[in-house]
Amino acid sequence: KQEVTQIPAALSVPEGENLVLNCSFTDSAIYNLQWFRQDPGKGLTSLLLIQSSQREQTSGRLNASLDKSSGRSTLYIAASQPGDSATYLCAVGPRDYKLSFGAGTTVTVRA
Amino acid sequence: GAGVSQSPSNKVTEKGKDVELRCDPISGHTALYWYRQRLGQGLEFLIYFQGNSAPDKSGLPSDRFSAERTGESVSTLTIQRTQQEDSAVYLCASSRADVGGRYNEQFFGPGTRLTVL
């Protein structure tokens, strides 16, 4: 069974600092990895999808890397803003359809 | 275009009652998924539809849970004889057809928050 771990569970930084969120998974036979953002009381917003053949994906201030062999992914958010405050979830997709989720990292960016 | 929508957004019910939760996927998305998120816990996969067939129901927690899908559109998750442990946010997601075995990005709805008293 795939186990997905996210560290740290919570993170508080001053505005402008770069954020580094970590995700690890136990089974490296993945098809892709997806990073989501969840705001309180809301659903999930897809941020980045990395296919297993890729090493990274970038979108604006976001950059996600993937190292399948070591079972790790890192989400970098440059120059954080208070609007980046949310819970960030990492989800791993095997060759079928089920996503296995981590418990998330709750980020607070202080103005 | 419109994203995944779910209704109701909130549902409060008494223990023992039945509830129905609805999901409207993104138009053209043939795959539909239900997940559950209990307070302080990660998301749990419940069921997956490809078209209107459900090849995998293994995540349904008990036989009180069932789901249907009409064609390639609306899906309904039904919980019979609700229990307090069913209280959670129920999230629906959809994705494009799994063409050639490629797994596609899942897009989530806002969820239904279910509270069983």
Given CA atoms B98, B103, B108, B111 in this order, what sign does their dihedral have? positive
Q: What share of chain A has pLDDT > 70, as a percent?
A: 97
Q: What is the pLDDT of residue B100?
A: 47
Rg (CA), chain B: 14
Instruction: Please give the single-letter amino acid code of residue B79.
Output: I
* Greater model confidence, B58 or B93: B93
Which residue has tokens 């359809």?
A97
* Beta strand A19-25 pairing with A100-101: unpaired
Q: What is the pLDDT of residue A96?
A: 61
SS3 A60: coil
Residues of chain B positioned with their CB less than 8 A from the CB of A48: none
Residue contact A97–B105, C-beta within 8 A: no
pLDDT of B1 over the 90 cut = no
- Partner residue opposite A98 with nearest CB, options B6, B42, B45: B45
Residue contact B98–A97, C-beta within 8 A: yes
* Greater model confidence, B41 or B102: B41
Residue contact B42–A99, C-beta within 8 A: no
Q: pLDDT by residue (tens digit) across A8-60?
A: 999 999 999 999 999 999 988 888 899 999 998 788 999 998 988 899 999 99
Residue of B nearest to A48 (CA): B105
Of A29-43, A52-66, A79-93, B14-28, where does mean pLDDT reach its minimum?
Answer: A29-43
Task: Report whether A21 contacts A74 (CB < 8 A).
Answer: yes
Give the C-alpha separation, B94 to B111, whole Å.
13
Of A11-20, A60-69, B35-44, where does mean pLDDT reach its minimum?
Answer: B35-44
Nearest to A104 by CA among A28, A36, A20: A36
